[in-house]
Each structure stands twice: as structure tokens, then as C-alpha cells.
Chains A and B, each alone.
Chain A
């Protein structure tokens, strides 16, 4: 909402500058989003009178004007406007002025004649698009007046952000009340005084409220014999200064009072109301109304309408009806001032997709106590500015009158909650300035809440009022005195941290993707039709079809990240994400996963660290690292038929016979689907399963003082023998004297028969209790060789 400095000063006196006021309002909780000086752009433009006009000696289309701008000497100004004439008042941009269009005025020679300024059109002043001729100013305005002053632009406009709990601040008087709280200066409310005529309003109209739950109060006045026309300049300027368009004097007055008091009013053409009467009722289902914006609206039975004897004539509290609107031919006006139920207005406006100045205020809560004051103020202005006479009396139907809210305030509670030592007298003074009635009652204060503060219902609401006027800055800054609770152990956080750090240390970059997914992305990673990951939670209001589901796997987004990077010629792709997925299984469940991708190249591509393509064992190494940092040593691998992966190059990791994750090379079709020109390697683990399997407890193992003995062993086995089969057998045969078995070479080809492969192991023998003799090691090594031969058909390779 916009307010202006000059307008505010009509309702309260204060000495604050514009920026001081902006500051104070902000610190009261009314955030000032902008402060503008619309007149500042027109500095140096003044009102001038064209005294005489002479033809230009060298140009047919130009004339020489002698212009009075209130100085001792007239200015000669060259002008080419078609409407220039002697005696007219027009804006003069003086030497040195910079117009809003960017033009700086200098003394200039036009076809040999000097021009000491410029007579301006509205377009040249950026006031309108009108460039046809000079802007005509009223001859009532004295020459020499600065144009911003002449146009009422010499003001400061504040754009305010009013929070939803403060509808009372959606008006000039409301903001003035806040300034009263800050300064203690009294309010200057408009003096409303006008004559009524002899005709009793009840002879002309009546109001019936059939839905008192939705309309607790409805008041009306009738003004007859008005002349609908333009509003006077001051009224137009006021409305335009806060961004409200002018329509006609009657509507402008209702808008002016809306801005002044915050009370939405509506003016009906009295003669267009069937039987000249008002019925406030729920719409009947299927009933229609054409609203002021000429839209035809279908109504439902929970919407409140203002009807005449036959049909709805306004959408209560939202917008008037087209058929009963004020036109140039209107002579008698029925003026509505009412209070509607906020929830009802909100529901109606929402259902119809409408938001108006009226609905905005009613749905936040208007002031039932201001209904008559606003009505009288509007009647007064109409009588003054549009002629006509006001019928005697007001129809005021008020079935929903409520007693004023009273709250018991405990001053010690205020200080307890705020951590302050505010004196009770200070609290009382603050509340009184805000418009509350305060009386000492028992050990506390009895506070009566004015009708415009519907947001105040509890003691805590009063505490907030005291706090904000007292000033948050004046509340001390202290540290909590309370006990520090003991946090519960959080094993999953520990596992997440370990895994993340190990992946970062391994050169993987952390990605974060949106939780949204394209429900069609599962074809791209080749999930089978019955894969549970296809069961996606869907959004009612997605930003786009590609973001209409909640992800069930992180694989597609990481593959998309790889694709994005490839498309930008970045081919060293090593990314991981730790994030939740959304599984539809009974109760809401959002398991966390850790998923990674390795593609393109590894290394730096420099002399010392050349690029190479990653392979299966790179991704396996990452997985082994993850398992290692989680202390998971007891796991097995098995090949899977997971369709996202190369059938011969993937493995699931099993711990306690439960799959905790999978890794391997992406299936070539997956690569194609993501336009990846090279292989990609993926891992995908369930964090909860990792957490369950993780063992962080570590125990010291004595470090042996005895030397170890290393023996190499190269064997030739069938290709079907997996490399860890000999390893396991060596451990089994050697028992605790085998400290480690390291596979250091795998070879197929020349010197190795078809269908066979050579595996070379380094075996470290070692005892914790003695120095192993050569003889003992030889005996053990021979036993190992023998078992390898017997159980795996391994031949020693020489």
C-alpha cells in the first residue's frame, strides 16, 4: 500500500523527515519498501505565462514567445507547438533543468534566434504520452510556481508492506495511528459535518440481512440529485499519488475514503436497484452476476451477495455489479458501508480468482466500528463535490455486534517474556497511544481492545504491541541461561559425514539436484515395468511436466548432470549426491541414498597425470572406500540383472544377506539415452542400510615386533575361477599366519593356455608371537600351493 507524506500530515502532525519516518515505520513493523519523490524529476520546471508571440524571422513553423516565469525579465523561448497562444499557462523547463526524458536544457540558438528555455508537452515531462502540444495549465496557478507543486507532485510516496495481521494499517488514518504511537502526537480526524434533507431514508430504501453470519453489519445512506463528473484536481492528485486510477467523482470519493479510513464503500445507482432495496444474502446455486470488470461470474450458494429485490447487484465485499454501477446519468446514489465475515470474503475471492482493494481488506478483517464514520465522511464529500442532498438518517443493520475484547495484562509477564524491565506506566502509555483503553485492575491492567484491532485477542498480542513500540532495539541482548539438553546419538549423521568426506577425498564433487523428477525418466534408465521406483508421488501443481513427480532414485538426475557437463565439453565427470528419495509405501518414507557417477576421464590430462578412461575397478574402488570408512568388512558381492547396468559389469553389495547397494557400468542404452559418448560408472547405496551395517567401534590390535616374510605365488587357473577364490583359500589354508594376500597381476595371453589365466599373489606370512623360520614358511607355502592345486586345479607358474 502507498501513502504520501503530505497526505499523512492531514491526520497527524510530526516533525520527522521522509527518511526518518521510513525508519520509524520500519522499526514499528511496517516495512517501507520504497521511498519515492515523484516531483524530483521535474526540478527546474516552472509555470510560465506566454505573454506575447512573434513570428520567427527564419522559420515558418517556429514562433518567438516572451514568457513570464515570475522573474523581473521575461524569457524569449522559441516554440513550435501548434497550440501555443498568448495568455496560456504552460510548463517552462528553465536553463539547467534535466527533464525525465534525459534532456538537459541549455541556452540554444534555433535558426538564429536564442531560446532561453523550453515550453514543454506532457510527454516531454513524462507525465503522459500526449505530445500533440504544450501542456495546458490552469491560469489560476501563479506564474513561477514550481511544476511539482502546481501538480501536487511535491510529495514523498512510501510503499508500505503491511503484514497480514495488520489490516488496520491499510489506511492513512491507520498509519497515522502508528505515528501517534511513536510520537505521542494526537490524531487529527476529518471533521465531518453536513446537512441532511427532510426525506427520511427509510421512505426510499431498506436493508435486510438474511445471512447475519456472513454480514454482521450493513449500513447505507442515500444521496439524491448528484451530478456525476470529474473529481476536482486535488482529489485526483491524491488518488493518483498513491496509484489509484480516477473514474468519476462518486467512485473517486469512495476510493478516497477507503484510503483514508480503510473502509471499503460501494456506491449503487439507486434507480437501478429493483424496488430500491437491499437484501444481503447467500447466492443461490447457479445464479450469475456481471461484475464491474464486465466479467460474467457464476455464483455458488456459499457466496455472499448484495441483492436487490430480484437479483444480485454486487459480490459482497469483492466487487460491485456492472448493472448497478454509477454512470454519468446517475442522480441518486445508495452508499454502502458494511462489515463482512473475513473467511467468507476470502473464500469467495479465491474461488473466483479475484483480488480487489475491498476484498484485500475484508478478508484480513475490516473495522466494524468505523462503518458509520466512513459512510458519513463519504456522504459529506459527495454533497460537497458532486452536489445533491443526503437523506435524513442512516439505515444501520448490525446483527453481529460483539462486546469489545478485554484482556488482563500482567506487567511482570511482559518483562518475563521479553527479558526486560519496562515500567508499568510505560506499558500503559504505549497501549493508550495505540488506541487501547487501559485501567488498573487487581494486580494487573485491564485492557480494552478497539474494534480496529481484531488481531489482538490475547495477552501475548499485547506483549508484542508493547515490545514493538518500546523498540526491539531497546530490549537487551542476553545469552540463554537454561540447561543445554543432551543430544541423542545420531548414527546416520555420522555415517553420512564419513561417506561424504571419503568421497570428497577421492575427488568426487558433491551435487544437489531438485527433488522433482520426470515420471518418464525411468524408461531412460531402463527400469522394468514393475519396478517399484516407477511408483512416483505426483504434484498437483508442478512447474512443468518434467518436474511433476518426486524422485525415487538419484540415478536419472546424476546422469542428467553428466549430460549437462558433457554438453558443455566438461568430460572429467565425478559427481555424487547424498539425498532423499520419496517412496510410496504406506507411511510417508523418504529414504536417503548416496549415489555417484564417474564418466569421461579421470586424471588431469597433464604430463605428470595423463587422462585415462575410468573402468569398473575405479567405481569398485570408490565403493570399497565407502564400505571401509563405514567399517563394513563382512560383505559379499553378487552379479545382478539390474537393467540400468551392463549385465556383465555390475555387482550388488550384500551385508548380512541384505542388498545395501549396487555399482557397475551403465548399460549402453542408458548411455545413449543421456547422449553420453563414453562409458559411465554408477554406484547407488541406501544410507539406512549402510548405517545399519556400519561398525565404528574400533579396538587396538597389537603391532607385532617379529619380522614378516613375503612370498610371491603365480598360478594358472581356469578363467572361470574368480580372483577372490584363491585369495580366500590362501587365508583358509594359512590360518592366522597369513597376514595379507595381495593380487598384483592378472594375465591372459601368450604363455598361458587358452581358457586359462595367470594370477599372481604376494602373500605375507607373519606371526604375532615368534620369528618365522624359513623352514616353517616353506612348509606353509607348500601346503598353500597344494591346496590351490587340489581345490582349484591351480598350476604353479614358473
Chain B
């Protein structure tokens, strides 16, 4: 009987090596462990053994059983692993097939720039306020120290409505509206649409400006330089050089036009900057006392400064669109680029 047990073990272990499928394994299991299995038969024959033989053979039988059970288990695992490997191989995908991208839209390029400008000034404590596009002569010109026969009005090419209103030529009227509605300190920026009768590759009849105004008991021209320098360094990079040139605006005095070092040539001179190394980005100045008088602020008590910039112009420093009218065609091939 001992011999028989040894033979069964050797035979079963050999047979397991040839097992390729779970079905084969199962039939082999039945061959040995089934109700009529070979090992089962041997175990059943245990009863016929003598009392003396029984412990020894019983021990051996148990050992064989344990060995074979472990071997069957291992084969089960191996088969499972093999099967899984085969399945994973079958499941391999073509990684070059296109992904299923979630749709996403993009803000209009002018809005992207406008939002950046707003964010920089908000961080410096400026509040965003807005005003109407349809304005009166008073807010657009008179209150801004630009009376009817002022030559500066020629520079504006204003759209007039048939009812006598006009489309604001700049966002500056909101300065007046804001000061009429609040007492100093004032620290606002005014983004918005403006309009001028102009239509060519570098002008659209509607464009966007951001106006800024700071009024306080002690706001100085040096602070205007500080604010605008901080803005430009954040907007155009911390290496940006600034140039403040005297200029004329009816509603600021002293007034300045502000240049930054050319973003293309870093100030060395190139075609973008006409060789000068400088690019004009905004107009600014200390608030003219006449403007304070128009809103009943006492020019002896408060000082302030204002600035204004064209968003399309700043956008185009980056985008370099040859014909800026493209901004407002809303061609999706264009909008997707930004």
C-alpha cells in the first residue's frame, strides 16, 4: 500500500505538469480526489489494514494528500495567471487611436487680455466699475475739460446718435460717473467698449479700453509711475523698461504717454517698434483740477491720476494679428488659436 501511495503521488505530479486548461485540471482532480478517485480509493482501503500498519500508512497517506492538494492549488494559480495574461494580451488597445477629449471652449482673445489686465489691477486694490456705451457730450467731453470748440475733439471721430447722444470715444466718462457717486479715496478701473469712426487694418470702429483712476488726499505723479510700472512688469515681464513721455490730454495735467521696451527686440530696435525700441501702450496723467471741479471735489484737498489703455493694442503686442478687424469676425479657426 505504501508503494501504491508513492506511485499515485509520482503519477499525479507528473500528470499535473501536462495540464493546460482548467478543464484538464478538473478531470485530473476527479481522477485522484473524486468519489472514485485513485487517492480516495486508497483512503477507503485503509480500513483493511492492520492496526500496526495503520498509523504509518495513514501518515503517509496524509502526506501524499497534502502534497497533491498543494500541487493542485499551485497549478490552479498558474493556470489562472496564464489565463489572465492571455486575456490582457487580447485586450491591448491601439494607443494611437484618438482620445475622447471633453469639449472645451476658449474666451475671446481680447477678453483673455482684458481679464489679465483686470486681475493685475484688482490685486493692487482697484475696483472694477463700468458705465454705459451710449453717452452724453457732457460726460464724454465737457466734464473731461474738453469743451465744444476744443481742438482735441477733432482727434476723436465720434459716432453720434440721431437723438443727440454719442457712443463714448473712451472709457474716461466713467471716471466722472464714479466720482459723482462716491467720495475719495477712489481706486477703480473701468473696462469697456469704445467707439470711433475708423475702419482699417489697425482700427476697428468698436474697441476696448481699460481706464484707471486713483484719487486720494495725496496721490502723486510718482505713484502713477509706480502703479503703471508695476502693471507693465506683471503684464509684459519683469525685465520691461518704461518710458514716460510728456503728452497732452485735456483731462490730465501733467500728462504722459507711456512706452514699454519693445517686446520683440527688448529695446534694441526692430520693425515692430519702428526701430525706436519703444512701444506706446497707454496714456496717463494727473487728474486735471478742472475735472475735480466738474464732480465737486475740491482740487485743493485731493489729487489723483488716471490712465487708459487700448486692449486690442496690448493684445496684439502678443498675438501680432496683421488685420485687427479679424478679432470681430468670430471665425472659429481664429478663436481656437488663442
Closest B residue to A609 using CB positions:
B100
Contact (A511, B220) CB under 8 Å given A31-B245, A164-B248? no
Contact across chains for B197 and A460 when beta carbons are under 8 A apart: no
**B187 x A484 contact (CB < 8 A):** yes
Kindly state whether residue A432 has any CB partner on chain B within 8 Å.
Answer: no
Q: Assess the A507–B104 pair: CB atoms within 8 A.
A: yes
Indicate whether A511 sits within 8 Å of B108 (C-beta atoms), given known contacts A477-B229, A478-B223, A479-B227.
yes
Beta-carbon contact of A570 and B134 below 8 Å: no
Within 8 A of B (CB), among A484-499: 484-485, 487-488, 490, 493
Chain B residue, CB-CB nearest to A345: B149
Residues of chain B at interface, number, CB under 8 A:
82
**A490 vs B229: C-alpha distance in the bound complex, in angstroms?**
28
Q: How far is the CB of B224 from chain A (nearest CB, A)?
A: 9
A548 (CB) vs chain B CBs: closest residue: B162
**How near does chain A come to B145, taking the closest CB pair, in angstroms?**
11
The answer to whether B162 and A493 have CB atoms under 8 Å apart is: no
The proximity string for B residues 236-260 relative to A, scoring 1 for CB distances below 8 Å and 0 otherwise, is 0000001111111000011111000
Q: Are B328 and A417 in contact (CB under 8 A)?
A: no
With A511-B108, A604-B98 as contacts: A538 and B103 at CB distance below 8 Å: no
A543 touches B256 (CB 8 A): no
Query: How many Å lie between the Cα of A166 and that of B100 in the bound state?
Result: 64
Q: Which of B150-188 contact A (CB under 8 A)?
A: 150-152, 154-155, 159-163, 165, 167, 185-187
Binds B, one of A313-321, A383-391, A461-469, A746-754: A461-469
> CB within 8 A of A541: which of B101, B154, B197?
B197
B253 CB contacts on chain A under 8 angstroms: 460-461, 463-464
Give the contacting residue for B185; candidates A476, A485, A540, A570; CB below 8 A.
A485
Q: Is B110 an interface residue (CB 8 A)?
A: yes
Min CB gap B222→A, angstroms? 3
Report A133 CB to chain B, min CB distance, Å.
Answer: 39
| Cα A405 to Cα B336 with chains together (Å) | 60
A570 touching B221 by the CB < 8 A rule?
Answer: no
Contact of A537 (CB < 8 Å), options: B163, B246, B303: B163
Q: Which residues of chain A in 238-278 are interfacial with respect to chain B, using CB atoms and an 8 Å cutoff?
A: none
Counting chain A CB atoms within 10 Å of each CB, which of B101, B103, B335 scores highest? B103
B95 interface residue per 8 A CB criterion:
no
With A416-B218, A504-B105: A163-B332 Cβ-Cβ less than 8 Å: no
Contacts of A473 in B (CB 8 A): 243-244
The interface centre, meaning the residue of B98, B127, B332 with most chain A CB atoms within 10 A of its CB, is B332
Contact partner, A590, options B104, B127, B134, Cβ 8 Å: B134
Does the CB pair A510–B106 fall under 8 Å?
Answer: yes
CB distance A485 to B227 under 8 Å?
A: no
Complex CA gap A512/B230 in Å reads 29
Q: Does A481 count as interface, using CB distance less than 8 angstroms?
A: yes
Known: A468-B246, A482-B216, A506-B105. A417 touches B226 (CB 8 A): no
B222 and A475 form a contact (CB under 8 A): yes
* CB within 8 Å of A: which B115-129 residues: 125, 127-128
Given contacts A417-B303, A504-B104, A507-B103, contact A568 B331 (CB under 8 A): yes
In Å, the complex CA distance between A49 and B104 comes to 78
> Which residues of B sit under 8 angstroms from A463, Cβ to Cβ?
253-254
Chain A positions 501-523 with a Cβ under 8 Å from a chain B Cβ: 503-516
Residue of B nearest to A508 (CB): B105
Q: Is B199 part of the contact surface with A, judged by Cβ < 8 Å?
A: yes
Q: How far is the CB of A562 from chain B (nearest CB, A)?
A: 9
* B193 at interface, CB cutoff 8 A: yes
CB neighbours of B108 from chain A (8 A):
510-512
CB within 8 Å for A539 and B246 given contacts A479-B226, A515-B133? no
* B214 interface residue per 8 A CB criterion: yes
Residue A227 at the chain B interface, CB threshold 8 Å: no
Of the candidates A163, A416, A607, A608, the one whose C-beta lies within 8 Å of that of B220 is A416
A346 to B149, Cβ gap below 8 A? yes
Q: Is the CB of A464 within 8 A of B149?
A: no
Q: Is the CB of A480 within 8 A of B226?
A: yes
Residue of A nearest to B325 (CB): A514
Contact with A along B30-74 (1 / 0, CB 8 A): 000000000000000000000000000000000000000000000
CA of A504 to CA of B248, assembled, Å:
42
Q: Are A509 and B106 in contact (CB under 8 A)?
A: yes
Neighbouring A residues of B86 by C-beta, 8 Å: none
Q: A28, A507, A547, A565: which contacts B205 (Cβ < 8 A)?
A: A547
Q: Report the minimum CB–CB distance from A579 to chain B (whole Å).
A: 8
Structural contact, A485 and B221, CB atoms closer than 8 A: no
Expressed in whole angstroms, the Cα–Cα distance for A731 and B76 within the complex equals 52
A540:B162 contact, CB within 8 angstroms:
yes
Check if A512 sits within 8 Å of B111, measured CB to CB. yes
Interface assignment of B307: CB less than 8 Å from any CB of chain A = no
Question: Does B99 lie at the interface of the complex (its beta carbon under 8 Å from any beta carbon of A)?
Answer: yes
> Is the pair A482, B185 in contact by a Cβ cutoff of 8 Å?
yes
Q: Can you list the 10 inter-chain pairs with the closest CB atoms, starting with the nearest?
A: A507-B103, A419-B222, A29-B246, A419-B220, A163-B248, A484-B125, A482-B216, A487-B127, A468-B246, A464-B254
* Given A164-B150, A460-B253: 7 more A-B contacts, CB < 8 Å: A416-B218, A418-B222, A475-B222, A480-B187, A512-B327, A570-B333, A572-B332
Give chain B's interface residues, CB within 8 Å of chain A. Answer: 97-108, 110-111, 125, 127-128, 132-134, 149-152, 154-155, 159-163, 165, 167, 185-187, 193, 195, 197, 199, 204-206, 214, 216-223, 225-227, 229-230, 242-248, 253-257, 286, 288-289, 303, 327-333, 335-336
A: residues with CB less than 8 A from B are 26-29, 31, 163-166, 342-343, 346-347, 363-364, 416-420, 458, 460-461, 463-464, 467-468, 472-473, 475-485, 487-488, 490, 493, 500, 503-516, 537-543, 547, 550, 561, 564-565, 568, 570, 572-576, 580, 582, 588, 590, 602, 604, 606-609
